[in-house]
Amino acid sequence: MSSILIKNIRAVDTIIDQITDVLIEDGKITMVENNIRAGADEVIDGTDLVLMPSLFDMHVHLRDPGFTHKEDILTGCSAALAGGATGVLAMPNTKPPCDDPEVIRYIKDKAKDTGVDVYPVGCITGGMSGNGLCDYEALKEAGCICISDDGRPVERAEDMRRALELSNENGLLVASHCEDLGIINGGIMNKGETSKKLGVPGMDRASEDYITAREMILASSVGARIHICHVSTEGSTAMIRFAKSRGVRVTCETAPHYFMLTDKLLEKRDADYRMNPPLRTPRDVQAIIEGIKDGTIDCIITDHAPHTAEEKASFESAPNGVVGLETSLAATLTALYHPGEITLKKVIELMCVSPRRILGLEVPSIREGSTADLAVVDLNKKWTVEPEKLHSKSHNSVFKGMTLTGKPIITISKGVIRYDIREERK
C-alpha cells in the first residue's frame, strides 16, 4: 500500500486544531507533527486546506437491488466519496427489501471494493409490510447493525415496541421514519399557507410529532435505544430535547435542507423540492438550527434519495426524495459554519463522529494509529451546484443552481486516495 505525506495542513478533529504535517502508511496515520521529512509515494500540499475525519452518512438510499435506473451501489459510493464520506448506512427499501441475509450479503459484496463502508439496514417488518417482525439475529449475522422500515412507518405500536425490545437482545439500533399515514392522507408537501395557495394536499406536522412521541414512549418503556430519522419540525425537536433531559435513550438526525430551505420553494411547482418529511416553515428551520447548536440533534445526514428526471416530471404525482451526498458538507459549511452558528469542530462532531458513535463503529481521528479515513477540504471554495455534474445517476438536487462555500478536494479511504480534484483548483 502506498504512503501519503500531507504537508502544512490545518488538521481538525474534535480534539485538535493545528497546522501540521500528517504521514499515512499502510492505511494508518503514523505521524502527526511539523516538518516530517519521511519519504512518501504521494505528497500533498495542504496549504490553505483542512484535513478532517471523513464523513459518515447514516441515512442514504442506494436503490440497489431493484431500482438501479435511479442509482446503484457503485454510483452511490462514488457520490459519497465526492462528498467526503467513506461510510454510509443504506436504507432497506430496495427490491427485494433488505429483510433477508442474502440481500444484505449482496449489498456488502458489491460495495467491498468501492472505498466506502456500506452498512445495509435490515427491515423491522417482513418486506416493510408491517406484517410480522424479521429475524433480527439472522440479519445481524449477515452484517446488519441497524433495523428500520424507513420509507414507511411501522404502523402498529406493538410491532415497534417488540422490535425495540428485541433490539436490546441483538445489539441493533432501531431507526424510525416518524410518519402517521392516516394523518398524512395523501399530502405531498408541508400543510400550510403554501399548500393552500397551490391547492394541493398538505402533510400536517402532527404526523411527524405524534410518531416521534410514540417511539420515545415505547423505547423508554423497554429501556431501548431509538434513533429518530430526518427531524424536520419544531415540535419533534422540542420533544426530543425533553426526552433526553428525562434520560430516554434517544438520538436523532436532520438534513441540510431542513435547516436551510422552506416550503416557499414549492411555489415553483418543481418536484425536486419535494421530499418526506417535507420542507417546513422559517420557524421550523430556526428550531432545527437551535437543536443542532444545543446538542438535541446528534447528526447531519442527507436522506439521499435518487429519482430520475422522468419520475420527477409531475409536481403532483412525483415520488418524494432528493439527492444530497455531494452537497451535504458544503451546505452545512455554508449555512452553519461560515455564518458562525457552529464551529468546525461541531461540524465534524455532527457529520463524522456522532453517526459512527451512535452505530458503535470505529471513529477516525487525526492522531497516530487511527485509520486513515480522511477528507481534505477547501473551506472557502465557492461553487455552483450543477446537477448534471454530480456523480449520482439521478440529479434531483434541492440545491440546484445554488452557490455553496466549501468543498471536499480529496477523500482518503483506509490510506487510499479515492477522490481527487486538485487539478480543478489550479
Give the model's confidence band at 424: pLDDT under 50 very low, under 70 low, under 90 confident, else very high.
confident
Give the pLDDT score at 425.
67
Give the model's pLDDT for residue 1.
Answer: 72
Q: CA distances (Å), 123 to each of 63, 68, 70, 376, in order?
A: 15, 20, 21, 35
The answer to whether residues 76 and 98 belong to one domain is yes
Annotate 179-199 with b (16+ C-beta within 10 A) or e (fewer): bbeebbeebbbbbbebbeebe
Q: Is the pLDDT of residue 284 over 90?
A: yes
Q: Are residues 131 and 263 in the same domain?
A: yes
Residues 262, 408, single domain; the answer is no
Mean pLDDT, rounded, for 107-111:
98
Task: Specify whether 153 is located in the same domain as 278.
Answer: yes
Active site residue 303: yes
Among candidate residues 57, 117, 303, 378, the one labeled active-site is: 303
Task: Please tell me the total count of domains within the chain.
Answer: 2
Mean pLDDT for the stretch of residues 93-107:
97
Beta bridge partners of 28: 25, 371
Strands (E), 82-153: 85-90, 117-120, 146-147
Is 364 inside any structural domain?
no
Report the pLDDT averaged over residues 196-219.
Answer: 98
Residues 199 and 347 in one domain: yes
Distance between CA atoms of 343 and 357, rounded to whole angstroms? 20
For β-strands 85-90 and 117-120, DSSP reports them as parallel
How many residues appear in the chain?
426
Name the band, by pLDDT with cuts 50, 70 and 90, for residue 347: very high
Domain boundary pick from 338, 359, 380? 359
pLDDT at 116: 98
Task: Judge if 111 and 230 occupy the same domain.
Answer: yes
319 and 387, same domain (yes or no): no
Q: Are residues 143 and 36 both part of a single domain? A: no
- Domain final residue pick, 359, 379, 403: 359
State whether 150 and 32 are in the same domain.
Answer: no
CATH of the domain at 103: 3.20.20.140
Q: What is the pLDDT of residue 423?
A: 84
Range 354-368 average pLDDT:
97
Structural domain for 412, as ranges: 4-51+369-425
Whether 349 and 390 map to the same domain: the answer is no
Is 189 contained in some domain? Answer: yes
Q: For the whole model, what pTM was predicted?
A: 0.97
